[in-house]
Amino acid sequence: LKLPDWIFKRVEETGCRGFMEWGFTSTTTDQHIALEYAGYKEQKPFPTVLRIVTSSVDRPACVAELSQYPSEREYIFPPCTYLEPLRDSRAIQPVKDEDGNIVGVVEVVDVRVNINTKSLTVEELEARKKNLHLDSFRFAIAEVER
């Protein structure tokens, strides 16, 4: 995956750069797993790894115990997580095997994440939907009773 150049340029009208990930973002703390998913072994064009910088507020959820592959140490960021490349964060790095031989290269991009803390939980969304249906039902009954 080659990230487009506009992601790294600050947009003048908003002062922001980066992109919003609309779905869940699956990550790992295991560098070897991240490199495998980047596709350097398959010689995919532009293998890229995002190296994520987190804060005490913007942390992913560990789902290793729920994962089909618990050894991958998987962490999930929620939908609408914003990823902002850090300044001068792009670097081409060699990938070495156990013997120290270079077996490929990947682009590593350092990004800071901002989690959408205003998004509702599934339970909150279900409660809203239930209340919407109940309010509609009550309104329909009141109309019939008139």
| Ramachandran class of 100: left when φ > 0, alpha when ψ lies in -120 to 50, beta otherwise | left
pTM for the model: 0.68
**What count of other Cβ atoms lies within 10 Å of the Cβ of residue 95?**
19
Q: Place 1 in a pLDDT band, splitting at 50, 70 and 90.
A: low
The 10s digit of each residue's pLDDT in 82-122 is 888 887 777 888 888 889 888 888 888 889 998 877 777 77
Cα–Cα distance list, 138 to 1, 2, 51, 88, 129 (Å): 52, 53, 52, 58, 14
Question: Can you give the pLDDT at residue 67?
Answer: 85
The 10s digit of each residue's pLDDT in 48-77 is 888 998 888 888 989 988 988 888 889 999
Q: Any alpha helices (H) in 7-121, and if so which ranges?
A: 31-38
Question: Can you give the pLDDT at residue 132?
Answer: 93
3-state secondary structure of 35: helix
